[in-house]
Structure 1
Amino acid sequence: MRGETAAQMIRRLRKAKGWSQARLARETCRAAGVALDTLGRQEIYRYEKATRTPREWLPFLAAALGVPVVELEAAAATRAEEATPATIADFLPDGDPLAPLASRLGRRVGKAQVGDLERRVHGLRLADDVLAGGDLMGPALRELRSAVRLFREGSHSEEVGRALLQAIGELAQIAGWIASDAGQHTEAERIYRLGLSAAHTAGDATLAGNLLGSLAYQRTNTGDVREGLTMARAALQGAAEAPPRARALYWDRVAWAHTKVGEAQPAMRALGEAGEALGEHGGEEEPDYLYWVDAGELQVMESRVYTELRRPLRAVPLLRDVLGRYDATHTRELALYLSWLAVAYADANEPEAAAATAERVITLSADVASERTAERVRVVLTRLEDFRDVPEVRDVLDSAA
């Protein structure tokens, strides 16, 4: 395959062999004639993430993967921006976590059971609107385990099996979101990749894009911003046939990833694309999970982008407009959006307004079991330190301490 980086080639060839990263590490050691634990799984992980270059291991990796060393050397010389764009398939989990058991042990599964599962998934989504990840983590994981067991152990038609996989994918998306909100990022990634496998197997490109976009959003917010951008763009790449609101959501995540990387103009263009996609929304068929994507949500993302790019004169009016009509029962989101407003006020050199808004953020966050809101409180308090000499700010900082 032309235009690959070494990271992409190693991952593609490893997955084609059905090997885990640990297996590739062992086979590379065999090719090098050294002890099997000389090269660890973590090193393969770093090679595939492009955070480290194989260098002296390169010929032995080539031998283990069965590729001429010159091809791997050429890939190693390819810069990431010149490489073939990543696709959703590049982020599927190793193996097949949804492989049916050789002997079906459970009952016959029909459309009624699938419909019941779909209703529970949507109920979990609605619960997430008003409850935080720490409150919903247990129920979400129980539902996901039950759904996977139903698919693997039950007997069902091809049609029902595909519907089950779609329900598992949707459940994994909301369960991953809940786990991420609870601060369980490793668990969230595992869940997202499980759902990605289910959506991919079911042939549901829109759902697969939503799952990979959700994982991209987590990666972008937890430090690996370049990888997050790669994921967000891969999710968008397969979105040509997705409904307008799905495409708007994918573009929003691309905008945020560009923002976190520090690329202002691409972020602005992505926001424009999101708005255009949403403008095409009409009476088309679309998945239930897109119910929350509307002009208000795009406005929130736009204001967050402006805040992150330190453009408070644009961010403040947008946030005040959204917050003026926001549902107060959605406590977590209200606290999050207010946190962006507090930072924007600070950037606009309005410390008194920033302090008053920060106080609301802290009060709302006190009883919310969300790592997202806890992190945003820390961000706001750090930003306010620049204005400690202002009495209103000092009172908030001292009270928080």
Structure 2
Amino acid sequence: MEKASCNLCVSYGQKKKLLTVSSSSPEELLTNLKSKIAIKFSLNNEAYTMKLKMEQFQTYVDIDEEDMDDVNLMRDGGSIIIEPVTSSQSPQRSTGATVIPSSPEDGHVLHVQCSTDVSTTPPVKEAKVPTKSPSLKVKGFDVREIVRNHPRGALIEEEYSTNQTITTETRHLLTTIVAAEMVKIYSYYPTREEKIAVAKSIITAYPSLKSTSSKYPYDIWYDETDSARGYLSSKLNTMRRSLPREQQRRPRTGKYSGLQVKAFKKELKRTFQQMEEVTSEEEDEIVNFCKRATAESSAEVLEGMGRTFQNRRNWISEKLPKVTDILERYPRFLDTPTVIQQEFKLLLPEATAKLISKWETRFVESILHICKMSRLPKIQALMKDLYHPPSELGDQ
């Protein structure tokens, strides 16, 4: 994407500045905008919220910093109002805008207001959420209504209506929308009963998104037997990481929140046969060889990946790396299918034969169905090659 510039009129207190921001991507736009705001208004580490007013719309729309499609809306320019966030400030319900907390790295929240001009407008007065009766708040949480009122909710509704399920990326969007509403109504620390009520509301609105192999059909969203598990719990944990230290204390227990690694470690236990580790020097040598190896060295790569299996499993179990970290260290998982087969066989030897026998009859159809719905460019390209290989296109 070539570089483009946008003009933004930014207000902070009594000061107003006209900023021109150049960028070639939404990520760069967000980074450059924050940098210029910090310089122009002498903001160091102060937390603040931003409200944007654009030409294209007449109503408020949400901007989620984790969603680059949302951030990209700022490329059309407009007026931004910056409001400081105090340490005692709690999430409030806006008269017209939904608050979506941002990613942990940035620690900011974006509000977007759109109208037909680009002049600076005064801050929107926000009303506090009533907190008299938690039971009333639980009763009034309607996921379907929340999604329908969200600017990007139509995408979820259309996809679910068409396929009776949703893709992973759409599920991320649904989780973000619902978690943001939970923060507005219940704060960053909803009670167990509130989280259960929201999880039930999700599977009531979208029945196929429930668990079919457990006692509680809503436990993939919130597991009442293990509060660290479930999509909602994970999202809330991520959102809380961006809070100042003094706001991370749980209001009911007084303890500081944090990702509960212990619960995840329990899930990673496997019954695979323990193998002998290689030395760290030998492991580094094998890893570097596998990274540089060509397709002609696939046999040597397979042998090296087998020799480092135990080192790899111990690293994953102890450090809990992200998938991107694993693939960066062992990139041959991406382009050497025999490496994946060998890893699965070493990890779950008793299940290998069963997986192969049931692969085509049980799994392939479901996987292809999910891939057809995906909006990821890589998946779409693979599906195009599968159904319209280059030879067929050439013949036509």
Same fold, TM exceeding 0.5? Answer: no
Q: Which has the higher helix share?
A: 1
Q: TM-score, normalised by structure 1?
A: 0.29
Q: TM-score, normalised by structure 2?
A: 0.29
Q: Which has the higher strand share?
A: 2
Instruction: Return the index of the structure with the highest Cα Rg.
Output: 2
